[in-house]
Chains A and B, each alone.
Chain A
């Protein structure tokens, strides 16, 4: 017994010493914060860009993004000790809100003394994974129902069964894709920052004015797109594009959030193809990474895929939003009639 315990403790000692050297070599250095430094942590890319613009040129302020700029949406994000540590050392956490960061929000609520600024606070949100049956299908839909009565009944039954789950699921937080709503986000974050740091309010408000001016200029530049896109029927493959469509008056016949979903069922694909044929949808809005499925559907139905950037990730550049949004708008202008 003593010999065995000796072997076990010797092994544990070797493991511990090896771990010590591992930590010394590859480990994170202790997070040291200066006396004067204001630590602002943002949850993910869009709010990181907003906060970075609002705090631009202000000394003694550190803006850190909790997730990597290329993480994308936080649907299945797992918090690491580093994230918890960042939140512990922060005095302000800026989140997008709208159900995008439930996980972080719940963790942040456990941390005392951390102020959370929700950029979507008070904003009217659209539904995610939209399946819009409000529009008038007319006779077309009646005949479609006649052809597929069981499918419709089944869908209604399932809807009732999962109502509670679906209601929670359908909150769409990708508001930044609507430039008008993005401006509102900027204002909300600016209000939160001014409340937290009243001594910096002058500089923050000035940055807010400049940044909102740039967004307004971009909106102005592409006002003609509204006439082209208004009333156009589309299918979206990312919840973010629902807001883009909303801002231009484009009708989303059916929405799928491939960013959050691992796979689509055969039934969903069939339903999608039926919707496209029923409504005569010509354009499918998708992002490049998940465009394979959209291409498949396009081949099946003869529609066209338009690749857009949902702006959930990008470069560490303060003008990244404006650049990427401009690219999206140019893409729409070049492809659509």
Chain B
């Protein structure tokens, strides 16, 4: 880690980089933001914005279950619950019995309420309120390494299964006719979202994690004409928002996560405004 720190100090001769917590936060941003940029493309494409939002809210229940069973590492119970939650929600969503937005809203409301019921037992919810906004400044090298592993796994999945995933998102019936295992690909994708959201939620926060997933991809969609552009622009917007938001939060003494979201939102509106210029 010291080598990376020294390397960062050499290429970034700025005031903020002399502090280890800023180096760690910057490294985390450099891993989380491209990850979110990539994932966001398919979430926006598949109209799953509220799906990932509901998933974020399930973190409260996941943590509550961890508290009930005395799990020392709350991340574990959060990830396990989020995976079950995502698979169940996905199954009901695809059954066609209930409208998509209704079933997501039901799951979202239930997971939030159940989490609040458990965690506010004994009026102690304030202990967990940090989960709402997150804190990227307290991330440790070990946690950055964990994020890096997730990033590598996502890249591997994207390289191996992107075409199939894209086919499923375009037309599930067509994908089936091409002998693509639609349910399997879709479930792996939602599991991936569940794991990434739960691993990053402590650093990003329940209230804004979905914004980070959606905004860069939504901004990129305003300009992109094909998948390559879509991915490239989304990652560019995501990384730029992350770095600028972190640096601004340092100099303006404001929370990092919300600042990143503000930058990403502004980018979205600018791209929305210039869309007619490039998409004639």
- State the A residues within 8 Å of B (CB): 1, 3-4, 7-8, 11-12, 15-16, 19, 22-23, 26-28, 30, 75-76, 78-82, 84-85, 88, 103, 106-107, 110-111, 129, 158, 161-162, 164-166, 169, 256-257, 260-265, 268
* Known contacts A4-B233, A7-B274, A8-B233; A78 and B124 CB within 8 A of each other: no
Which residues of A lie under 8 Å from residue B271 when comparing CB positions? 11
Cα–Cα distance between A261 and B236 once the two chains are bound (Å):
41
How many A-B pairs with Cβ below 8 Å?
A: 127
Smallest beta-carbon distance B247→chain A, Å: 7
Which of A16, A162, A265 has a CB less than 8 Å from the CB of B67? A162
Q: How far is the CA of A158 from the CA of B19 in the complex (A)?
A: 45
Determine if B97 is an interface residue (Cβ-Cβ < 8 Å): no
**Whose C-beta in chain A lies nearest to the C-beta of B250?**
A81
For A257, the chain B residues whose CB sits under 8 A away are: 123
Bound-state CA distance A19–B252 (Å) is 10
Q: Tell me if B125 and A261 are in contact (CB < 8 A).
A: yes
Complex interface bits, B83-108 against A, C-beta within 8 A gives 1, otherwise 0: 00000000000000000000000000
Q: How large is the interface on B (under 10, 10 to 19, 20 to 34, 35 or more residues)?
A: 35 or more
Known: A12-B240, A75-B126, A85-B19. A22 touches B248 (CB 8 A): yes
List the A side residues contacting B7 at CB < 8 Å.
none
- Chain B window 211-239, contacts with chain A (Cβ cutoff 8 Å), 1 for yes, 0 for no: 00000000000011000010001001100
Give the segment of B31-39, B129-137, B167-175, B195-203 that binds chain A. Answer: B129-137
Contact of B278 among A3, A12, A75, A106 (CB under 8 A): A3
Q: CB-CB < 8 A to B68: which residues of A?
A: 161-162
* Residues on the B chain within 8 Å of A76, using CB: 126, 129-130
Minimum CB–CB distance from B9 to chain A (whole Å) comes to 14
A161 to B68: give the CA distance in the assembly, Å: 6
Known: A88-B19, A260-B124. 12 other contacts (CB 8 A): A7-B278, A8-B237, A11-B274, A78-B135, A78-B255, A80-B253, A110-B21, A129-B123, A158-B121, A260-B123, A262-B126, A263-B123
B252 touches A103 (CB 8 A): no
Nearest CB of chain A from residue B206's CB, rounded to whole Å: 13
CB distance from A170 to the nearest CB of B (A): 9
A78 to B255, CA, bound (A): 8
Let me know if A1 and B123 touch, CB within 8 A: no
Complex-state Cα separation, A106 to B130, whole angstroms: 14
Closest to A110 in B: B140
- Asked whether, in the complex, the Cβ of A19 is within 8 Å of the Cβ of B223, the reply is no
Given the known inter-chain contacts A7-B223, A79-B138, A88-B21, please indicate yes or no for A162 contacting B249, CB distance below 8 A.
no
Q: Chain B 129-164, CB within 8 Å of chain A: the 1/0 string?
A: 110010101101000000000000000000000000
Please determine whether A166 and B122 come into contact, CB atoms closer than 8 angstroms.
yes
Which of B44-52, B53-61, B182-190, B262-270 touches A?
B262-270
A28 close to B124 (CB less than 8 A): no
Contact B19–A162 (Cβ < 8 Å): no
Residues B67 and A165 in contact, CB atoms below 8 Å apart: yes
* B73 contacts the other chain (CB 8 A): no
**Contacting B120 at CB < 8 Å: which of A8, A11, A111, A262?**
A262
Q: How far is the CB of B125 from chain A (nearest CB, A)?
A: 5
Contact A164 B253 (CB under 8 A): no
Q: Can you list 20 A-B pairs, Cβ within 8 angstroms, ordered by A?
A: A7-B223, A15-B267, A22-B252, A75-B127, A76-B130, A78-B130, A80-B249, A81-B137, A81-B253, A84-B19, A88-B19, A88-B20, A107-B21, A158-B121, A169-B122, A260-B123, A260-B127, A261-B125, A263-B123, A265-B123
A260 touches B251 (CB 8 A): no
Given contacts A23-B248, A28-B251, contact A169 B124 (CB under 8 A): yes
B240, closest chain A residue (CB): A12
Which of chain B's residues have a CB closer than 8 A to the CB of A260?
Answer: 123-124, 126-127
Question: Inside 8 A of B236's CB, which chain A residues have their CB?
Answer: 8, 12
Taking CB atoms, residues of chain A closer than 8 Å to B127 are 75, 169, 260
Q: Is B252's CB under 8 angstroms from A23's CB?
A: yes
> Distance in Å from the Cβ of A32 to the closest Cβ of chain B?
11
Query: Given the complex, which residues of B lie within 8 Å of A103, measured CB to CB?
Result: 130, 138
How far in angstroms is the closest Cβ of chain B from A5?
8
Given A81-B249, A110-B21, are A162 and B121 neighbors across the interface (CB < 8 Å)?
Answer: yes
Set of chain B residues within 8 Å of A3, measured between Cβ atoms: 278
Beta-carbon contact of A164 and B120 below 8 Å: no
- Which residues does chain A contribute within 8 Å of B135, judged by CB atoms? 78-79
- B256: interface (CB < 8 Å): yes
Residues of A within 8 A of B255 (CB): 78, 80
Which residue in chain B gives the minimum CB-CB distance to A89?
B19
B13 at the interface (CB under 8 A from A): no
For residue A260, which residue of chain B has the nearest CB? B126
Q: Which of B67, B251, B254, B255 has the most CB of A within 10 A?
A: B251
Q: What distance in Å separates the Cβ of A40 from its nearest Cβ neighbour in chain B?
A: 19
B113 located at the interface, meaning its Cβ lies under 8 Å from any Cβ of chain A in the complex: no
- Point out the residues of chain B lying under 8 angstroms from A8, CB to CB: 223, 233, 236-237
